[in-house]
Amino acid sequence: MHATALLGQTWKLSDVVEIVAETPRAKTIWFDIPDWPGHRAGQHVDVRLTAENGYQAERSYSIASAPNGTRIALTVARVEDGDVSPFLCDDLRPGDRIELRGPLGGYFAWEPDQGGPLFLVADGSGVAPLMAMIRLRAATQSETDACLLLSSRSWADIIYREELERLSGDGLTVVHTLTPSQPPGWTGYERSVDAQMLAAVGPPPAARPRAYISGPTPFVELVANALVELGHSPDRIRTEHFGPTGG
Amino acid sequence: MDSQMLDGNAVAGMLQEVFAVEMTNAIETCRGCGASDALGATHVYRGAGTVLVCPHCDNPLVKIVRGDTRMWIGFPGLAMLQLPVV
């Protein structure tokens, strides 16, 4: 067996080096993994937690950081009744170690030489794999035009808000919709993403954008179907479903 | 559409255990409707086991059940699987 074929198959205890609060409900956990083989923007890792009684729970989390050395970042939204995310958000500390395997996937990945334009559509923490693409685009000074449409519950719930503001311009457009809650004076979108919003915000079908859609399953299905109805080619649309909440 | 539904990306780790290569870009052909898609684009349901279904006709393509020391994998609806070779 060729060595590279085995990458990502084994569980490895990985060191938590830093934890950053992104919003009241989401944290970014940085790991340092000395033999990390590198990843592609859009890939994910599996996280496995084992309780003292042997019960194991596994979840997949997208990598939010651009490929850069041995450090990777996962952004985790806290799901109230989840098995895994409350532990990751509330109990995990720098210096702790948890089991990861990866990088995994390749279908929902983007490389700068694939070009674009990119139309990135996310709900909540679904923005994580798209942020890896946006960060990679910036790090490589890619000239690919990109548009992010991000739906968040409120202004305070916008993940990576300040970094997205900084990276905007130079071909990157960021559009927020806030639902159900908006700050005073908000003039932007304040409804769930729909076909009309996608048509107004994103590149036209004639530009043949590469669309990456990430979030809870009902959101992803709605956006993917709306893009096809607007005339976008299904083979340019990639989706990542988180299930009902993301767990 | 079921809100519990996931996609083939969610089982990338498990598929990689079985096949020892990245599988979400592998192309499956459905025995039911003949459509071909990347495994990453299939619809995935989890219960006692995991089922990958065709995103066009809901035909069950692959069923995986995992025990402590053994894994059962069946291909009830798969006509073909295309993998890159190196």
Reported ipTM: the value is: 0.90
Helices marked H in B5-86: 12-19
The reply to whether residue A242 touches residue B38, judged by beta carbons under 8 angstroms, is no
- Interface residues from chain B to A (CB-CB < 8 Å): 1-10, 12-13, 16-17, 20-22, 24-25, 38-41, 86
* Contact criterion met (CB < 8 Å) for B4 and A242: no
Output the pLDDT for position B20.
87
Note the pLDDT tens digit of each residue in B58-78. 999 999 998 889 999 999 999
- The alpha carbon of residue B76 is apart from the nearest alpha carbon of chain A, in Å, by 23
- Model pLDDT, residue A80: 87
- A40, A63, A84, A241: best to mutate for the B interface, most B CBs within 10 A: A241
In this prediction, residues B6-21 reach a mean pLDDT of: 91
What is residue A4's predicted lDDT score, i.e. its pLDDT?
45
Chain A residues touching B21 at Cβ < 8 A: 5
Nearest CA to CA, how far is B21 from chain A (Å)? 5
**Nearest CB neighbour to A107, from listed B5, B9, B86:** B9
Pseudo-torsion of CA A85, A240, B11, A74, nearest 10°? -40
Beta carbon pairs, A and B, within 8 Å: 77
Task: Give the one of A6, A107, A238 whose C-beta lies nearest to B20's C-beta.
Answer: A6
Which of A74, A99, A109, A102 is CA-nearest to residue A9? A102
**pLDDT for res B78:** 96
How far, in Å, are A38, A125, A235, B16, B27 from residue B53 at the CA level? 31, 26, 18, 18, 13
- Does the distance separating the beta carbons of B22 and A108 come in below 8 Å? no
A159 close to A127: Cβ distance less than 8 angstroms: yes
pLDDT at A3: 41
Residue B4's pLDDT band, with cuts at 50, 70 and 90, is confident
Q: Please tell me the least confidently modeled range out of A238-247, B36-45, B50-59.
A: A238-247
Structure tokens at A62: 């997208």
Decide: B20 and A5 in contact? Cβ < 8 Å.
yes
Cα A121 from Cα A127, distance rounded (Å): 8
Query: Can you tell me the distance from the alpha carbon of A173 to that of A145, in angstroms, rounded to the nearest whole number?
Result: 8
Report pLDDT for A28. Answer: 97
**Total-model pTM:** 0.94
Residue A145: the pLDDT is 98
Which segments in chain A show pLDDT lower than 50? Answer: 1-6
DSSP B73: E
Amino acid at A152: S
User: Does the beta carbon of A40 lie under 8 angstroms from any beta carbon of chain B?
Assistant: no
All residues of chain A having their beta carbon less than 8 Å from the beta carbon of residue B58 are none
